[in-house]
Structure 1
């Protein structure tokens, strides 16, 4: 049976790829999809745009395009998934969608970006206006293995285990929380700047929320920095200007295999459990309440089913599970 691509939710810019701009309350199948549905490798979304990667490394995009975030060399909204032909010479491995920009990881560890650069979130400071075609981030000299996009900042994890950050979207909150103090350069950089405080670990994955960042090391530990407004960084500080390790005791000393971030909540997966914490107003931490979760808690409703894949939106969470039945 051929897989079916379905979409639902906010659709003000055509980001569902259904050919119109009406919100959709119940999942609808995308019947006219130019990419082969059975060949889809990854799906993700941003402030108002969506992206699909095929097994062949092609990138299809739709939705909001006012800042050129779809990389199609124009600024008109696109109502159906459309091939980004500007990337025809690249094999796309991963894509991260911010509020109004897109970060792309291609083969050979190259990182490209397009869309708004008002906060330096493209990592290419010489571009002043919107970038309509994906551009290589030339100053990122190391090969990347992972990328992430926040509201107006971005991250890249490299082959050697380093993490680079760019975009000034977190800077104003950092300044308010640490008035009069000098901020680390990576919080105000408009091109990739190495994160300080991770020199003794090797990072393999990164994730980003609206105003925070997360790194997962090869030893299964989490390091976090940025805004802690809703307790998503497991700290007493309002804003962490440098990476802080989350104590392994919160995860029953189990090694973390993967991590995902919504705008203000986090989900981590270990070998035997799924943990979540942070903003919980809409119940996205899955603990049965709407109170913020200040320390990681197991999502008991998932039981001990094997979580194959987790997804986080601004205020919701999803888990694809495989039971023993």
Structure 2
């Protein structure tokens, strides 16, 4: 499966009395610890560049990480072969380094496989890294960029951005949803043939996603080859690949946003949603947490009656080889009332009752239990008092309250 990965957006705050720990894949120095060795136990990160700075957001891609501070500064580390760190060069960096070229304050960040999106003041979107699939939104003349590019075709302020492996999404202040990047094109072409592929699935510049008019879009999120939009009235819309049943539909591909039936979520409105590569986690208005999609690495956090195999899952629900039980949302009761959830590619973290839980794919030790064995139900990561959390596809991060517990201090001793 390798060590390349993508991670989702996470927000948190820190102070001088908190500690930042991480574990998991570190092939390119994306943990920011000054080396490239994987870590299967939580270890202190080198946050010296962030001293006395509150952190607002962190995101990671195929091998890179990006940290945004409360005052809008951007710090980066990890893989940089396509310029995804926005430093103006292509050298990898194993400790956090300030991105010096920014002239405006950044408020959000989202990372794809080998590209980065930054949401800056006044709702402007900046992009850097690979543009092989048009995922930067600047047309096809640029193959990749180590310098930040303004996504000029987004002509009104943006309030939310998301990045999949090779596609991007944005919601504007007026509630329009835009998509760009050809990462879903081949999937759409196979599924929709002989019908043409809709423009929003094949464009290298931001293109309006149809079907969300008058739906009050507020937030977008992205999986490997699927898209999500959460509206202000608590409805969740999904489109893209349904290879693992993550769209709760029978069709192998949905070209336009389709709502998830509220009856599948206890009849309740959705207030928060997170996505891994091929699985989805949603929280409803009463605090219930539902999961669905691919589950053969334990990423759903619940027992599934039908035995799963990756090769059978890949057949998809429409081919009769997928697990129909996993395709439908089901509640994970131990996660009820979670104050935050973070999804990696196929693993997850959650804060429940002030405790840190982890589950799912664990090949690189990103679940933080010292092993590389997949975890099929949420389990306690002992010795940590998490305040906020985040995941890369193959690594995990947590901002924790400082403690005098000797076991925690031992577990988090930085490697020499």
TM-score bucket (shorter structure): over 0.9
Of 228, 247, 250, the residue aligned with 1:236 is 250
**Is structure 2 residue 296 aligned with structure 1 residue 281?**
yes
Q: Is the 8 A contact 2:220 2:230 kept in 1?
A: yes
Q: Which moved more, 1:31-40 or 1:311-320?
A: 31-40
Secondary structure of the 1:5 match is: strand
TM-superposed deviation, 1:321: 2.2
- Number of the residue aligned with 2:332: 299
- Number of the residue aligned with 1:4: 19
TM-superposed deviation, 1:226: 0.3
Secondary structure of the 1:86 match is: coil
Of 75, 79, 94, the residue aligned with 2:108 is 94
TM-superposed deviation, 1:126: 5.2
TM-superposed deviation, 1:3: 1.3
With over 3 angstroms needed to count, the CA separation of the structure-2 counterparts of 1:112 and 1:38, relative to structure 1, is closer
- Number of the residue aligned with 2:223: 209
Q: Report the TM-score, using the length of structure 2 for normalisation.
A: 0.75
Q: Is the 8 A contact 1:153 1:169 kept in 2?
A: yes
- Number of the residue aligned with 2:378: none
Of 261, 265, 273, the residue aligned with 1:251 is 265
- Paired with 1:168 and 1:321, the residues of 2 have a C-alpha distance of 38
Q: Is the 8 A contact 1:95 1:102 kept in 2?
A: yes
Q: Work out the number of aligned pairs and report it.
A: 321
Secondary structure of the 2:339 match is: strand
Alignment of 1:15-30 (within 5 A): 15-30=30-45
TM-superposed deviation, 1:210: 0.5
With over 3 angstroms needed to count, the CA separation of the structure-2 counterparts of 1:20 and 1:37, relative to structure 1, is farther
- Number of the residue aligned with 2:401: none
Q: Which moved more, 1:30-39 or 1:273-282?
A: 30-39
Structure showing greater relative contact order (alpha-carbon pairs closer than 8 Å, 6 or more residues apart): 2
- Number of the residue aligned with 1:36: 51
- Number of the residue aligned with 1:311: 342
TM-superposed deviation, 1:199: 1.2
Q: Is the 8 A contact 2:140 2:204 kept in 1?
A: no
Q: Is the 8 A contact 1:4 1:37 kept in 2?
A: no
Q: Is the 8 A contact 1:215 1:224 kept in 2?
A: yes
TM-superposed deviation, 1:86: 1.5
**Is structure 2 residue 186 aligned with structure 1 residue 155?**
no
Q: Is the 8 A contact 1:117 1:127 kept in 2?
A: no
- Paired with 1:243 and 1:179, the residues of 2 have a C-alpha distance of 19
Name the larger-Rg structure: 2
Gaps of 5+ in 2: 1-15, 309-322, 356-416
Q: Which moved more, 1:114-123 or 1:172-181?
A: 172-181
TM-superposed deviation, 1:33: 2.8
Q: Is the 8 A contact 1:15 1:50 kept in 2?
A: yes
Q: Is the 8 A contact 1:174 1:226 kept in 2?
A: yes
- Number of the residue aligned with 2:201: 187
With over 3 angstroms needed to count, the CA separation of the structure-2 counterparts of 1:234 and 1:92, relative to structure 1, is same
TM-superposed deviation, 1:323: 6.1
- Number of the residue aligned with 2:240: 226
TM-superposed deviation, 1:172: 0.3
Q: Is the 8 A contact 1:2 1:37 kept in 2?
A: no
- Paired with 2:37 and 2:347, the residues of 1 have a C-alpha distance of 21
Q: Is the 8 A contact 1:121 1:152 kept in 2?
A: yes
- Paired with 1:314 and 1:90, the residues of 2 have a C-alpha distance of 31
- Number of the residue aligned with 1:80: 95
Q: Report the TM-score, using the length of structure 1 for normalisation.
A: 0.95
Displaced runs of 4 or more, over 6 A: none
Of 172, 180, 183, the residue aligned with 1:169 is 183
With over 3 angstroms needed to count, the CA separation of the structure-2 counterparts of 1:37 and 1:44, relative to structure 1, is farther
* 1:214-270 Cα distance to aligned partner (Å, 9 max, x none): 000000000000000000000000011111111111111211111111100111111
- Number of the residue aligned with 2:145: 131
RMSD: 1.5
